[in-house]
Amino acid sequence: MKVKRFNDAKTYEAANHRGYTSFALINKAEGIKNFTVGLSHFLPGGGAGPDAGPVEKTYTILAGELTVIINGEETILEPMDSCYIPAGETREIINRGNEVVTMLVAVEMPK
């Protein structure tokens, strides 16, 4: 078992994201080979995309409400809701509320 304390998590920049801060919780630095887990905070008006990544990912909302747009269809995720986004699927996410969105992200590592 490997333990990583939140105080040791480093922030990182993600392409095509705005109004956010993300922390790497568990990743290749801890020896993980197949996925990485992060914690993201999106300010009101913040978001990401639209874009499509080469890997699959999941989002789990811990606080706030996040709008996810896939193929023009909007879905609002609330606390403890999750979604799965396959590799290659174009998505956009937007915090349209007035509260900070806190989201747990699990992303497949590129092959």
Residue environment code for 61-83, b if the CB has 16+ CB neighbours within 10 A, otherwise e: beebbbbbbbeeeeeebeeeeeb
- What's the rounded Cα separation, in Å, for the pair 33 and 63? 28
Q: Is 67 within 8 Å of 76 (Cβ atoms)?
A: yes
Per-residue DSSP letter, 107: E
Decide: 85 and 58 in contact? Cβ < 8 Å: yes
> 7 by DSSP, 3-state: which?
helix
Strands 10-12 and 17-26: antiparallel
What pLDDT does residue 2 have?
87
| pLDDT digit string, tens, across residues 49-106 | 999 989 999 999 999 999 999 999 999 999 999 999 999 999 999 999 999 999 999 9
pLDDT band at 110 (very low <50, low <70, confident <90, very high): confident
